[in-house]
Amino acid sequence: MSRGIPEPKLTAVDAMIDKLTGAIFVFQIVVVLVLGVAGNVWKDTEARKQWYVLYPNEGPWYELLVIPLRFELLCSIMIPISVKVSLDLVKSLYAKFIDWDNEMIDPETGTPSHATNTAISEDLGQVEYILTDKTGTLTENKMIFRRCCISGHFYGNENGDALKDVGLLNAVASGSPDVIQFLTVMAVCNTVIPIQSKTGAILYKAQSQDEEALVHAAAKLHMVFVNKNANIVEIRFNASVLHYEVLEILEFTSDRKRMSVVVRDCQSGKIILLSKGADEAVLPYAHAGQQTRNFIEAVEQYSQLGLRTLCLAWRELREDEYAEWSLMFKEASSTLVDREWRIAEVCQRLEHDLEVLGVTAIEDRLQDGVPETIETLRKAGINFWMLTGDKQNTAVQIALSCNFISPEPKGQLLSIDGKTVDEVCRSLERVLLTMRITTSEPKDVAFVVDGWALEIALKHYRKAFTELAILSRTAICCRVTPSQKAQLVELLKSCDYRTLAIGDGGNDVRMIQQADIGVGISGREGLQAARAADYSIGKFRFLKRLILVHGRYSYNRTAFLSQYSFYKSLLICFIQIFFSFISGVSGTSLFNSVSLMAYNVFYTSIPVLVSVLDKDLSEQTVMQHPQILFYCQAGRLLNPSTFAGWFGRSLFHAIVVFVISIHVYAYEKSEMEEVSMVALSGCIWLQAFVVALETK
């Protein structure tokens, strides 16, 4: 299963606020203990001498706790309970700003951006690593059949479109057995549902865009998938109609990397296995007498062009062979323990001794704005890793075209490969040594690793691979499974990096859930990723605005609001403490409860609304100068140093307000209520001045 159990996410800002709250709590306890002891000492030494105090000579056993508990009540407002409520309120508004952003609406589909998680907007401004899927995320996921190789013959190489290749059209017209069998696999080996429209045209609904492209291409070559009634598939080829009974479907999984169907030819009664999948999942299972060199060359040639390749194969089954296998398959499908592993093992018993028919090459174009988005976010100090299930050459070509890595000779792509533990070890050590001594730009040196080598590295050389992850700013991971994607995200998180994972399909869900921030693209593969993600967008290029504008503004506003909340509480609390020094350290409150409530709830609530709309720089400036994001990633607006500044500011302002208030009424016959109102007014005006000074 690609879906895991999502973990609760804690932002870096929330983690820092928790640490600062703990520090203030310790400070509060120290203050309470010191003032409590001082109050009891003054009471026993001085207070009993004063006739107006009227302390009894002997008190109850708990008398020593009275003054400390008074100071505990006075200092309880040091930690503002309202900070969590205020932050939750403004974070929900940040999420609404993302929902309401008209510049992040996909013009093609009208899909708006959406924030599912309203609690982590500020983390967008602190992203350090982006781990991205390729198909449907960087590319459009609009598959177009371009070339193919059938029985060693290449079609589409001259004009770039196999559907217009004269040689292929002539082979179809002449009824070439190899070509007909190849087209049959394209039309039958799938889970596509044909739908007849009112105009008579046939529309295809498919979970996989590759399958849809293959079925469309077969239809244009006269092998038309007409109808599917229960388990009977109807195929029209020229003037004849062919029927196949689907006996079993061996579904595609990220581990097997292929899918097959077992069908019975209703005309001849033969049982046939039709398979398609990645080259490493099909070519090694060809029957002993077949030469696969031409197919390997075709796969390499097509992948060098950035095309997605699939190998097609078939095998005729004996009746007794199928009957025996069918029983095992049904038993594996009904088991409750290790079902997926059991099914894969049973499928392996059938998918062997295949006759490879050919290779298909499908084009998946790059989305608009992808190179510019990656370049801009790199300037903002964000590093990129591409995690894909495609072949290495295909992924590298897409990486070159979208400015993910630099072309040679400027760029250097280091490969981690090998099939054994020793081979992977040597390759990893070589790449690690190069990374240690390189002085190139982040995108000028990158490493590429396939799923097999990655599995060995994570299992046997995790420490070395972790060091490589820290040193590397760019990586391409090919032929990786959904679980491996999630493991890589977890690896970077273990290095204390803030990670963002973006994808569009169900196989990206675990990666999206594992990352600090998950972004799903509402693409052609459905809404699985978008629904599981914290944020959903229509196109990859909107990620730039999501991070630079919404992420940065959210971080700035949250950093100010959280520290301001502590400032206003510490300000009033310090005045209470200073007042205790002229009131016999008795724990008497200068302010009444109504004034304190009004101060926290009413008088200081306006800045919360002001901070939500605060923009220190215009959106255009931020987009044109992405380097501004550096200080957000470093957490320079909210850390112990900045908090110490706010702490010192509250202490200084409290001294000013208290000294002025007391000295103004020092020689006047006035009630304490007057003094408290003057001090409270001073606090209100001061915090208003601070808000005006800190926001724009």
**Rounded to a whole number, what is the largest CA-CA distance in the chain?**
122
Alpha-carbon distance of 685 to 689, in angstroms, equals 6
Q: How far is CA 347 from CA 260, 283, 328, 350, 457, in A?
A: 9, 16, 9, 5, 28
Of the candidates 671, 567, 579, which has an alpha carbon nearest to the alpha carbon of residue 86? 567
Alpha-carbon distance of 393 to 672, in angstroms, equals 80
Alpha-carbon distance of 364 to 343, in angstroms, equals 31
Q: How many CA atoms lie within 13 A of 684 on its CB side?
A: 18
The token pair that represents 163 in the structure block: 């559907």
55, 592 contact by CB (below 8 A): no
137, 402 contact by CB (below 8 A): no
Alpha-carbon distance of 421 to 460, in angstroms, equals 8
Angle (deg, nearest 10), helices 552-581 and 82-99: 160
Q: How far is CA 472 from the centre of its chain?
A: 19
447, 435 contact by CB (below 8 A): yes
Alpha-carbon distance of 147 to 162, in angstroms, equals 5
Q: What is the DSSP letter of 367?
A: P
Centre a 10 Å sphere on the Cβ of residue 609 and count the other Cβ atoms it contains: 11
Instruction: Output the DSSP codes for 164-181.
Output: G-HHHHHHHHHT-HHHHH
Alpha-carbon distance of 204 to 212, in angstroms, equals 7
Q: How many CA atoms lie within 13 A of 249 on its CB side?
A: 13
Q: Out of 14, 101, 123, 133, pick the active-site residue.
A: 133
Q: What is the DSSP letter of 41?
A: H
Q: Where are the alpha helices (DSSP H) in 285-417?
A: 293-304, 319-334, 339-350, 370-379, 392-401
Alpha-carbon distance of 128 to 378, in angstroms, equals 10
Residues in the chain: 696
Q: For this structure, is 133 an active site residue?
A: yes
Q: Where are the alpha helices (DSSP H) in 540-639?
A: 542-545, 552-581, 593-598, 606-612, 619-624, 630-633
523, 60 contact by CB (below 8 A): no
Q: What is the DSSP letter of 526?
A: B
Q: 559 — phi, psi (to 5°)?
A: -60, -45
- Residue labelled with tokens 């388990």: 231
Sheet harboring 114-115: ordered strands across? Answer: 114-115, 535-537, 517-521, 499-503, 129-132, 383-387, 474-478, 445-450, 412-416
Could you tell me which residues are beta bridge partners of residue 536?
A: 114, 520
Residues 6+ apart with CB under 8 A from 443: 378, 384, 403, 404, 405, 406, 411, 473, 474
* Residues noted as catalytic: 133
